[in-house]
Chains A and B, each alone.
Chain A
Amino acid sequence: MSDEGRAEEGIEGQRRLAVIGLGNVLMGDDAFGPTVMGAVDAQYEFPPEVAVLDLGTPGLDLTPYLLGLDAAVIVDTVNASGAAGTIVLYRRDEILKTPPQPRLSPHDPGLKEALLTVAFAGGGPREVLLIGVVPGKVTTGIGLTAAVRAAVAEAAAEVVRELARLGVRARSRSPQSPPDLWWERP
Chain B
Amino acid sequence: MSTRITVDPITRIEGHLRIDVEVDGGRVKNSWSSGQMYRGIETILQGRDPRDAWVFTQRLCGVCTTVHAIASVRAVENALGIEIPINAQYIRNVILAAHALHDHMVHFYHLSALDWVDVTSALKADPAKAAALGESLSPWPHNSKREMEAVKDKLASFVAGGQLGIFTNGYWGHPAMKLPPEVNLLAVAHYLQALEYQFKANKVVAILGSKTPNIQNLAVGGVANAINLDNQATLNMEKLFMMKDLLDEVAAFVQQVYVPDVAAIGAMYPEWLGYGSGVTNYLSVPDLPLDTKGTQFDLPGGTIVDGNLATLKPITSFQDAYFKDNVTEGITHAWYDGDWDKHPWEEETVPHYTEFDGDKKYSWVKAPRFEGRPMQVGPLAQVLVGYATGHPIIKKYADQVLNTASAIAKVKLTPAVLHSTLGRHAARAVRAATLSELALKHLQLLTENIGKGDVAIFTPWTYPAGEQRGFGFHEAPRGTLSHWVVIRDGKIVNYQAVVPSTWNAGPRDEKGQKGPYEASLVGNPIADTAKPLEVLRTVHSFDPCLACAIHTLDVEGNELSKIRTLT
Contact = CB atoms under 8 A, between A and B. Distances in A.
Query: Which interface residue of B59, B171, B546, B555 has the most chain A CB atoms within 10 A?
Result: B555
A117 B165 CA distance: 9
Contacts of A22: 551, 553
A136 B41 CA distance: 20
B63 A107 contact: yes
B556 interface: yes
A165 interface: no
Interface stretch (B106-114, B264-272, B388-396, B416-424): B106-114
A30 B552 CA distance: 8
B146 interface: no
B43 A140 contact: yes
B543 interface: yes
Contact of A64 (B198, B210, B540): B198
B43 to A, nearest CB: 7
Interface in A99-137: 99-113, 116-117, 119-122, 130, 132, 135
What is the size category of the interface that chain A forms with chain B? Answer: 35 or more
Nearest to A138: B13
Contacts, number: 217
Given A79-B11, A101-B559, A106-B107, A24 B536 contact: no
B547 A108 contact: yes
A163 interface: no
A59 B16 contact: no
B553 A121 contact: no
A61 interface: yes
Contact of B545 (A80, A107, A130, A140): A107
Contacts of B168: 99-100
Contacts of B202: 11, 61, 64
Given A8-B203, A11-B203, A24-B549, A105 B213 contact: no
Contacts of A80: 555-556
B12 interface: yes
Contact of A105 (B38, B39, B41, B544): B544
A29 to B, nearest CB: 9
Interface stretch (A90-98, A151-159, A168-176): A90-98
B81 interface: no
B555 A130 contact: yes
B206 A7 contact: yes
Interface of A: 1, 4, 6-8, 11-12, 22-27, 30, 54-61, 63-64, 67, 76-81, 90, 94-113, 116-117, 119-122, 130, 132, 135, 138-142, 182-183
Interface of B: 7-9, 11-13, 16-19, 38-41, 43-44, 55-56, 59-63, 65, 106-107, 110-112, 154, 158, 163, 165-166, 168-169, 171, 192, 195, 198-199, 202-203, 206-207, 210-214, 216, 536, 539-540, 543-563
Given A61-B213, A108-B16, A135-B13, 9 more contacts: A61-B202, A64-B199, A100-B166, A102-B536, A104-B544, A106-B111, A113-B169, A119-B166, A140-B39
8 contacts: A11-B206, A55-B213, A57-B61, A63-B110, A108-B9, A109-B169, A121-B192, A183-B59
